[in-house]
Copies of this chain bind each other. A is one copy, B any other.
Amino acid sequence: MNPIILLQKMKNWIRSNPQELLKTPIYTIHSHEAKSQDSDKAGKFFTLNAPDWINVIAITEENEVIVISQYRHGTDEITLEIPGGASDPGEDPIESAKRELLEETGFISEEWESLGKTAVNPAIMTNYTHMFIAKNCKKVAEQQLDGLEEIDIEFISIQEFLQKIVKMEIDHSLILSAVAKWLIKEANLSRIM
């Protein structure tokens, strides 16, 4: 099968009757009706609309990854993550990433690289997460946390960071997404291709 022909063949569904059902501080839930152009399938669908998010694999001058721990309300547990957050309206993703890294950890970097963006969940969510790697990070300030944030900081070796992913002590899908992009960019993939 030729993928180009295939992608041209399938068409977006046609939407109608959009409604806002619920507004929370970080997203809104909408519904709409949609009908396939390729068949007679049709139904009502729900989307979670949120601003784009960012996250940062931040590596210090000592070659350690900056990880943060915080209580998370979705899974009701203390998680180990990398710095991240939501873009403010009109803010470039790279500026959001620099701001969140500084606010959550007090660190800055002069070596930023984009790892691209990932669709958070194209089936039900509208937004993307822009992922970055920042190297040679250095501490210049204290944390400045938002109203409801409580964040502790740790520093672990890159090897320990990857081991914690294997052991599922770091398991947030958006962190794993950044790691996938980083590994494809910098690891030696000869064994698997």
Contacts of A94 in B (CB 8 A): none
- Number of A positions contacting B (CB below 8 A): 91
**CB of A77 closer than 8 Å to a CB of B:** yes
A147–chain B nearest beta-carbon distance, Å: 7
CB under 8 Å from chain B, chain A span 68-95: 69-81
Q: Are A122 and B77 in contact (CB under 8 A)?
A: yes
Closest B residue to A149 by beta carbon equals: B41
Q: Is the interface of A mostly helix, strand, loop or mixed?
A: mixed
Residues from chain B with a CB closer than 8 A to the CB of A3 are 69, 80, 154, 156
**30 A-B residue pairs with CB within 8 Å:** A1-B152, A1-B154, A1-B155, A3-B69, A9-B152, A10-B69, A10-B71, A12-B76, A13-B73, A24-B29, A29-B29, A38-B150, A72-B123, A74-B125, A74-B126, A75-B119, A75-B126, A76-B126, A119-B172, A121-B174, A166-B184, A173-B176, A177-B180, A180-B183, A183-B189, A183-B192, A186-B192, A187-B191, A187-B192, A188-B190
